[in-house]
Amino acid sequence: MELEELKVKFGQKVNLLQAKQLASYMRNQFSFYGLHTPERRLIYHDFLLAEKKSKQINWKLLNEAWQEPEREMQYFVCDYLIAMKKYFTFEEMARIESFVRTKQWWDTIDSLIKPIGDLGLRDKRVDGLMLKWSVDPDIWVRRVAIEHQLLRKEKMNTDLLKKILKNNLNSQEFFINKAIGWALRDYSKTNPDWVRDFIAENCDEMAKLSITEGSKYL
């Protein structure tokens, strides 16, 4: 599939009312075709199946799609990378970093953590990079570092998690404090004692939001 074909298919499904509603929900930072997730994914479902068989990530298409003004194009890039995550390599981290650092908001950031997190289980060089990202001036880059181990359960690198979280304590940023809480809440389903101990040891430096979120299942 070429970009123009994808634009035509999206364009055929334009819903102006939903586009306005979605833009408003995202604080009018992005324009939309007005496609909800199931309808959008159906458009490129067969294409992603074919791409999996090719085992090659089409970075040209992804870069072109990312530059498009409509937010559904960035969602396509995220869905593509998630579908192709097993073929993503550490040498390509700079490519995905360009997506992390542009057109940023929680929606794309919380999707891009998935191929990065998967790669981290296969290539330990990701650990060092995420530790570096955890002190980046860009809050969205730091949010990736905080969240990239979500859903790891018993595969969680607790030493890495602790270092990344501690690097982000005393933050006034809502999206950082929320991410800290989510990371702790998620891991508490696997190891509640670890999370309970972390909160007890660091509560004086933690935002109330992080403690509330992290303690939800304790």
CA 74 and chain centroid, separation: 12
- Within 8 A by CB and 6+ apart from 152, the residues are 117, 121, 187
Residue carrying structure tokens 């969680």: 156
pLDDT of 156 > 90? The answer is yes
Residues in a beta bridge with 31: 70
* Average pLDDT over all residues of the chain: 97
Query: How confident is the model at residue 1, as a pLDDT?
Result: 86
For residue range 96-123, list pLDDT tens digits in order: 999 999 999 999 999 999 999 999 999 9
The phi, psi pair for 160, rounded to 5°, reads -65, -45
d(CA 139, CA 97): 13
The pLDDT score that the predictor gives to residue 88 is: 96
- pLDDT value of position 201: 98
The encoded tokens of residue 71 equal 């937010």
For the segment 83-92, the average pLDDT, to the nearest whole number, is 97
Residue 155: pLDDT above 90?
Answer: yes
Residue 72, pLDDT above cutoff 90: yes
Alpha helices, DSSP H, located in the chain: 3-11, 16-25, 37-54, 59-66, 71-83, 93-100, 106-122, 125-133, 139-147, 158-166, 174-188, 192-202, 208-214
Specify whether the CB–CB gap between 68 and 38 falls below 8 A.
no
Please tell me the distance from the alpha carbon of residue 20 to that of residue 38, in angstroms, as a whole number. 18
The pair of three-digit structure tokens given for residue 112, joined into one six-digit string: 């891009």
Report field, pTM of the whole predicted structure over 0.85? yes
Check residue 191 and give its pLDDT: 98
pLDDT of 136: 98
Residues ≥6 apart with Cβ < 8 Å to 37 = 75
Give CA–CA dist 147/144, Å, rounded: 5
